[in-house]
């Protein structure tokens, strides 16, 4: 199970964010070699064979995404790096931006070569002051020393990078909302098609990749596709960053093979349950992933593994809950978030999230009605698949999961006007 630390070896370092430190570790060697010697199709083919999957949440094959960019068009191609890490329970990209900004830049350069892109934007969530500072410093250093700019490392390949600060909107982590935001507009997701690979930023072909995804790219070209694939599982190459938070002894970030089971992640890496408490539930892939019960944790922590238990790996943010948690209360925290972050563009999401929030608040106040549990499930189901972007689904899935797996707690609260767990009504 011990995987090499491709990304996380220097997390916590005082110096790893500096260019010289990165160069001492062989940094930018891969970008130089790939830009000078490797054909774009070969790079894309290697990334495909390495089975790199998008680490932002969807798990889409990165090589395939790159291959959608038209070749030889007359419009510029853009790369938008999604560093808007906002999925609750997720905090991995923050570490890469803070401790390995040059690794990200190197991955971006290789992507640039692969898709014929010469300008990239890094969209960082607005609250990330230190990560933004580190990223801006890395970009400035790279320009100064010729690793970015009109002639990258003497190869004649031009590549510009702009660090763009977001404004505190969860929705901008959705790729087309992110593009709108990069154009200075409110983050309202776009209808697809057309897909960003053809009509993206400023109407031009655009690749949108997550930070972790791109930071893995130099390791693929260095190790080779086969060796990279072997670090992972059959359907997903390389290592994966897992974020574990909640009721565990050692919350934190762990870089592991996706063959790791969720149970091992919690017990062996995150130090097991806090205060020896009994495990009740795990949200495995960021807040929107359907919740799992303790008997479902022997599943493999890969994109395919989580599908087997009708949930998703998503952004690999595990939120661990012990038996003291009232699931109706937890549901309130969750639905409140989505109601707040819905951009308001689509009626089912805008109205549905608020409606579900009001129902949960009514239950918590001790005024739940017999039909409330069924209504929560029914409203959630009517949101899925009916909105422009996946925020609607992201709000509906946790509700459906909670109601399905902890239905008795919801029904008890509605019937008795108090929590099955704490025995109290909570008010809202």
Partner 1 sequence: MAAGDNTTTGETLSAALAAKEVEVTCFPEELREECDALRARYETPRAALMPLLWAFQRRYGYVSREMERVIAEELEIPLIWVRETVTFYTMYNQRPVGSHHVQVCGNLSCTLCGARETIRMIEEELGIAVGETTADGRFTLSVVQCLAACEEAPMMQVNDRYYGRLDRQRVREIFGGLE
Q: Please report whether residue 278 would count as binding partner 1 according to CB under 8 A.
A: no
The answer to whether residues 337 and 398 touch, using CB atoms and an 8 Å cutoff, is: no
Residue 86 to residue 423: CA distance in whole angstroms? 33
Q: ∠ CA(93), CA(397), CA(390), 5° rounding? A: 60
Q: Please report whether residue 115 would count as binding partner 1 according to CB under 8 A.
A: no
What's the min distance (Å) between Cβ of 275 and partner 1? 12
What's the min distance (Å) between Cβ of 164 and partner 1? 7
The answer to whether residues 311 and 290 touch, using CB atoms and an 8 Å cutoff, is: yes
Q: Please report whether residue 5 would count as binding partner 1 according to CB under 8 A.
A: no
Question: Per-residue x/- mask for partner 1, residues 135 to 164, rule CB under 8 A?
Answer: ---------------------------x-x
Q: What are the tokens at 30?
A: 């891969």
> Which is nearer to partner 1, 43 or 328 (by Cβ)?
328
In sequence order, which residues have a C-beta less than 8 Å from that of residue 172 and are 6 or more positions away?
84, 86, 123, 125, 166, 178, 181, 187
Angstrom distances, CA of residue 250 to CA of 239, 259, 265, 272: 20, 21, 11, 8
What's the min distance (Å) between Cβ of 20 and partner 1? 26
Q: Please report whether residue 290 would count as binding partner 1 according to CB under 8 A.
A: no
Total binding residues toward partner 1, as defined by CB under 8 A: 53
What's the min distance (Å) between Cβ of 127 and partner 1? 5
User: Of residues 139, 182, 215, 306, which one binds partner 1 by CB under 8 A?
Assistant: 182
User: Of residues 12, 73, 168, 194, which one binds partner 1 by CB under 8 A?
Assistant: 168
Half-sphere exposure of 243 (CA within 13 A, CB side): 27
The answer to whether residues 405 and 413 touch, using CB atoms and an 8 Å cutoff, is: no
The answer to whether residues 69 and 205 touch, using CB atoms and an 8 Å cutoff, is: yes
Q: Please report whether residue 375 would count as binding partner 1 according to CB under 8 A.
A: no
Residue 293 to residue 287: CA distance in whole angstroms? 15
The answer to whether residues 119 and 76 touch, using CB atoms and an 8 Å cutoff, is: yes
Question: Per-residue x/- mask for partner 1, residues 325 to 364, rule CB under 8 A?
Answer: x----x--xx-xx--xx-----------------------
Q: Please report whether residue 427 would count as binding partner 1 according to CB under 8 A.
A: no
Among 255, 225, 231, 220, CA closest to 103: 220
Q: Please report whether residue 80 would count as binding partner 1 according to CB under 8 A.
A: no
Q: Please report whether residue 249 would count as binding partner 1 according to CB under 8 A.
A: no
Q: Please report whether residue 190 would count as binding partner 1 according to CB under 8 A.
A: no
Largest CA distance in the chain: 73
Q: Please report whether residue 323 would count as binding partner 1 according to CB under 8 A.
A: no
Stretch that binds partner 1, among 166-174, 219-227, 306-314, 375-383 (CB under 8 A): 166-174
Q: Please report whether residue 409 would count as binding partner 1 according to CB under 8 A.
A: no
The answer to whether residues 81 and 191 touch, using CB atoms and an 8 Å cutoff, is: no
> Which is nearer to partner 1, 336 or 384 (by Cβ)?
336
Q: Which residues bind partner 1 (CB under 8 A)?
A: 85-91, 93-94, 125-130, 162, 164-170, 181-187, 201-202, 243-247, 251-253, 283, 287, 317, 319, 321, 325, 330, 333-334, 336-337, 340-341
């Amino acid at each position: 199970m011990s995987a090499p630390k491709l990304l996380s070896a220097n997390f916590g370092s005082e110096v790893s964010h500096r260019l010289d430190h990165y160069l001492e570790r062989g940094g930018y060697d891969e970008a130089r070699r790939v830009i000078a010697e490797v054909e774009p199709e070969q790079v894309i083919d290697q990334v495909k064979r390495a089975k790199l999957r998008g680490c932002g949440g969807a798990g889409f094959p990165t090589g395939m995404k790159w291959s959608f960019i038209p070749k030889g068009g007359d419009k510029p191609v853009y790369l938008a790096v999604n560093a808007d890490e906002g999925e609750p329970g997720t905090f991995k990209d923050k570490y890469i931006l803070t401790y390995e900004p040059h690794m990200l830049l190197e991955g971006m350069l290789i992507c640039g070569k692969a898709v014929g892109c010469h300008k990239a934007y890094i969209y960082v969530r607005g609250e990330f002051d230190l990560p933004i500072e580190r990223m801006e410093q890395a970009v400035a250093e790279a320009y100064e020393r010729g690793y970015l700019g009109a002639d990258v490392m003497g190869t004649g390949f031009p590549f510009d990078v702009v660090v763009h600060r977001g404004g505190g909107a969860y929705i901008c982590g959705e790729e087309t909302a992110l593009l709108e935001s990069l154009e200075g507009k409110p983050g309202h997701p776009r209808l697809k098609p057309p897909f960003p690979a053809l009509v993206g930023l400023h109407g031009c072909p655009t690749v949108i990749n997550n930070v972790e995804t791109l930071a893995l790219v130099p390791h693929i070209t260095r190790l080779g596709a086969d060796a990279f694939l072997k670090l992972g599982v059959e359907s997903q190459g390389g290592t994966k960053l897992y974020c574990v938070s909640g009721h565990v002894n050692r919350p934190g970030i762990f870089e592991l093979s996706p063959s790791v089971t969720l149970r091992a992640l919690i017990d062996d890496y995150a130090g097991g349950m806090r205060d020896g408490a009994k495990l009740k539930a795990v949200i495995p892939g960021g807040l929107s992933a359907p919740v799992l019960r303790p008997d479902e944790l022997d599943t493999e922590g890969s994109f395919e593994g989580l599908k087997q238990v009708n949930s998703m790996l998503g952004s690999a943010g595990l939120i661990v809950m012990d038996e003291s948690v009232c699931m109706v209360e937890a549901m309130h925290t969750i639905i409140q978030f989505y109601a707040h972050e819905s951009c308001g563009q689509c009626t089912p999401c805008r109205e549905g999230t608020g409606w579900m929030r009001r129902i949960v608040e009514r239950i918590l106040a001790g005024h739940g009605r017999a039909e409330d549990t069924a209504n929560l499930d029914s409203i959630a189901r009517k949101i899925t698949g009916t909105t422009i972007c996946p925020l609607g689904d992201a709000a509906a899935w946790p509700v459906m999961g909670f109601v399905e797996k902890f239905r008795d707690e919801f029904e008890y609260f509605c019937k008795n006007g108090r929590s099955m767990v704490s025995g109290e009504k909570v008010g809202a």
